[in-house]
């Protein structure tokens, strides 16, 4: 059997002790890394949760603001388009009126007055129905006197549309005007140009 001397035995014992110490150091370092990894994992999870909540809140706020502003924007766009259309028609009407005034003679004015008086004669003492769309303190020019008329009464200019011999046709026009945005439109009856009654649907 081989014989080991004390020196060699001590040397082997020192090497074993050094290996055990190195193993313990590596084990401690590994435990530290595991703890660091666990902390970073928790931080990452918390960060992801916070980011998810913020992203959800951001999307929710965006949808809320979009849904609230969308209906408002549509109404604003409709109002702006109606105003633009009326302004455009009014400008065209003004140009046409200027051209007509230059070309028409006083003979045409007499013809218009004759037509108006003959219509008044036809409607004399008869009940007619019209749809009033506005009453304003200031007189605004109408696009077409054939479609709308301004009547003054108690310091207000009352704008009415249509002349009907029956109530049903007047109510049908009123419903159409309400869909176009004239929410306050109503039907009134007239005899010889004087209002007789307001007719509710």
What tens digit of pLDDT does each residue of 31-68 get?
999 999 999 988 888 898 998 899 999 898 888 877 76
Given 1.10.357, 3.30.420, 1.10.600, 3.30.70, which CATH number is that of 126-199? 3.30.70
Residue 114 exposure: Cα atoms within 13 Å on the Cβ side: 6
Task: Tell me the percentage of the chain whose pLDDT exceeds 90.
Answer: 18
Residues of the chain with pLDDT under 70: 1-2, 68-75, 77-78, 81, 84-123, 140-154
Question: What's residue 100's pLDDT?
Answer: 60
Instruction: Give the separation between CA 21 and CA 190, rounded to whole angstroms.
Output: 113
CA Rg value for the chain: 45
* Reported pTM: 0.41
């Amino acid at each position: 059997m081989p014989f080991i001397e004390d020196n060699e035995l001590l040397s082997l014992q020192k090497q074993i002790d050094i290996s055990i110490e190195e193993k313990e150091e590596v084990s401690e370092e590994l435990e530290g890394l595991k703890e660091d990894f666990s902390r970073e994992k928790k931080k990452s999870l918390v960060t992801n949760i916070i980011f998810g909540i913020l992203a959800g809140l951001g999307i929710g706020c965006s949808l809320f603001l979009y849904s609230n502003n969308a209906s408002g924007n549509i109404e604003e766009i409709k109002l702006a388009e109606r105003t633009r259309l009326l302004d455009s028609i009014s400008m065209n009407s003004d140009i046409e009126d200027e051209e007509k005034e230059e070309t028409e003679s006083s003979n045409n004015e007499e013809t218009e007055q004759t037509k108006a008086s003959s219509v008044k004669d036809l409607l004399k003492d008869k009940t007619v129905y019209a749809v009033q769309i506005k009453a304003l303190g200031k007189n605004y020019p109408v696009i077409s006197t054939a479609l709308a008329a301004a009547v003054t009464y108690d310091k207000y200019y009352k704008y009415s549309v249509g002349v009907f011999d029956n109530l049903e046709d007047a109510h049908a026009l009123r419903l159409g005007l309400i869909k176009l945005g004239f929410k306050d439109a109503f039907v009134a009856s007239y005899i010889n140009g004087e209002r007789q009654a307001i007719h509710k649907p």
